[in-house]
Amino acid sequence: MNNEENIQQEQKKESFRDRIATVDAQGKRKWIFAQKPKGKFYNIRTYVSFFFFLIFVTLPFIHVNGRPLFMFNIPQAKFIIFGKVFWPQDFFIFGIIMITFIVFIVLFTAAFGRLFCGWVCPQTIFMEMLFRKLEYAIEGDAAKQKLMAAGPWTSEKIARKATKHIVFYLLAFIIANFFLAYIIGVKELWAMMHHPADNVGNIAALMVFSAVFYAVYAFFREQACTVVCPYGRLQGVLLDKNSMIVAYDYKRGEERKKINKSEERTAGDCIDCHQCVKVCPTGIDIRNGTQMECVGCTACIDACDHMMESVGFKKGLIRYASENGIANHEKLHYTRRMKMYTGLLIVLTGLLTTLLLSQKDVKATVMRTPGLLFQEKGTDSISNLYNIKIVNKTMNDIPLTVKLEDHNGTIQQVGNTIHVKKEGQGAGSFFIILPKEQIKQRKTVVHVSLYEGDKKITTVKTNFLGPISSTN
């Protein structure tokens, strides 16, 4: 074979990468009728998904100090993570959480490939462990589904399709309710159910979420992973030859050949039964190598193990392994790149923990009133006017008074005690009055504290402007 022929053959071999498996040469969608997987991994994934569903439906009901454990109220820019509330003022913390999360994803993917997609991603879990299981129950296995799709609209087909879509919509509606609970909280959700007329916005959001979930699980399906999900598309840069992936052992499997009991087998262990392709929910052939569409669901491992067992070959022709593991029989190991990512992750997590722990429930910002310098107060004192803004993240209304913590001066509050409503914001103004002899420089650092009765809530530092005392 000359060089040109070699190149052509190589191009032909790689031509499957020119388009995704679920779209044909004309750009039309190819519907995947995935066979139901059976085996060890599928069973474990089923148990893991039960646990996931349990967490998903339980978390919105868990409250800490009167607040949900988690809430992601995007419209009000209010987030609660592990019972701690974050507002737009804390956006930098949210930024660090996002960076930590991205580094975690990068590290995790470098080490464990798409383990997240196959085992934990809500899209995969809901699709494969809930909606597809129901589809098998209503429409039958993959072969029956295919036959029904190609056949005429008989009364049985109409009944089964209608049942499936009603069940899918109801499930999507239930999921949308829980999803909304993570955004507005269960109490609001409850109120919305009891007074729908007062909650038109939330009802509209619920209908939109239900429609989107229904459309995704009934029609869009694996396209969410192969076309939309950015994580899937990043695999090419995140994975390396030491990453753990679902891989076909081409060294052992090739050359593929159907089993023929009447002759001595000289080919590889792959008996070309296509079971690994038939069970794949994204419709790919894992024997072509690592592909962007593979969501690491392990269905092909179970299918191939079953075939290997039935023909008396060793299991694990498709297994969790690294590219180096397959090519050079290297064991999965902890690489320098992974160590580097881990170091970065530890630093970020440390920073994040410190920031979270040092978060105060009442925060105050004190600023001198713009445009004003200082005022003479009688013959021996100077005053500065300040504005104070207070953020109260607690679940109680707080009446606050301002006190000077250092210097022998006084505070004169403008108006009465500042009342800050629970989970609200308050503002006020006050004068700091200092005797002239205490002012030794143009800017003097002063500390003011906020008190609720006798209880000090927080202390803030600010500057006091004045002329340099003539006694110095």
Supply 464's token pair. 């006091």
Give me the least distance between CB of 101 and ligand SF4, in Å please. Answer: 24
Give me the least distance between CB of 108 and ligand SF4, in Å please. Answer: 17
- Most distant CA pair in the chain: distance in Å? 116
Collapsed DSSP state (helix, strand, coil) of residue 2: coil
Nearer Cβ to ligand SF4 (171/247) = 247
Give me the least distance between CB of 45 and ligand SF4, in Å please. Answer: 11
Give me the least distance between CB of 283 and ligand SF4, in Å please. Answer: 8
Give me the least distance between CB of 228 and ligand SF4, in Å please. Answer: 16
Amino acid at 47: Y
Give me the least distance between CB of 269 and ligand SF4, in Å please. Answer: 7
Nearer Cβ to ligand SF4 (139/302) = 302
Cα gap 156→162, rounded to integer Å: 10
Give me the least distance between CB of 167 and ligand SF4, in Å please. Answer: 25
Q: What single-letter DSSP state applies at residue 468? A: P
Are the C-beta atoms of residues 176 and 202 closer than 8 Å to each other? no
Supply 143's token pair. 């072969």
Cα gap 119→340, rounded to integer Å: 25
Give me the least distance between CB of 23 and ligand SF4, in Å please. Answer: 16
Nearer Cβ to ligand SF4 (182/313) = 313
Give me the least distance between CB of 285 and ligand SF4, in Å please. Answer: 8
Nearer Cβ to ligand SF4 (192/295) = 295
Nearer Cβ to ligand SF4 (318/390) = 318
Nearer Cβ to ligand SF4 (216/279) = 279
Give me the least distance between CB of 153 and ligand SF4, in Å please. Answer: 31
Nearer Cβ to ligand SF4 (260/441) = 260
Nearest 5°: the CA angle 253, 254, 255 is 135
Phi first, then psi: what are they for 395, rounded to 5°? Answer: -95, 15
Nearer Cβ to ligand SF4 (276/391) = 276
Q: Where are the alpha helices (DSSP H) in 199-331?
A: 200-215, 223, 230-233, 235-238, 250-253, 275-278, 299-311, 323-328
Q: Across-strand partners of 367?
A: 387
Supply 5's token pair. 């022929």
Give me the least distance between CB of 109 and ligand SF4, in Å please. Answer: 15
Supply 245's token pair. 């992936």
Nearer Cβ to ligand SF4 (296/426) = 296
Supply 201's token pair. 């916005």
Supply 185's token pair. 């909280």
- Classify burial at 168, counting beta carbons within 10 Å of its beta carbon; exposed 0-12, middle 13-18, buried 19 or more: buried
Nearer Cβ to ligand SF4 (273/338) = 273
Question: Burial code of 402-421, b = ≥16 C-beta within 10 A, e = fewer?
Answer: bebeebebebebeeeebebe
Distances (CA, A) of 105 to 112, 272, 336, 341: 10, 35, 17, 10
Enumerate binding residues for ligand SF4 (CB under 6 A): 246, 248, 253, 270-276, 279-282, 284, 286-287, 294-300, 303-304, 307, 317-318
Nearer Cβ to ligand SF4 (242/290) = 290
Overall residue count recorded for the chain in this entry: 472
List of residues 6+ apart from 365 with CB closer than 8 A: 388, 389, 460
User: Rounded to the nearest 10 degrees, how much is the dihedral formed by the CA atoms of 302, 308, 312, 316?
Assistant: -80
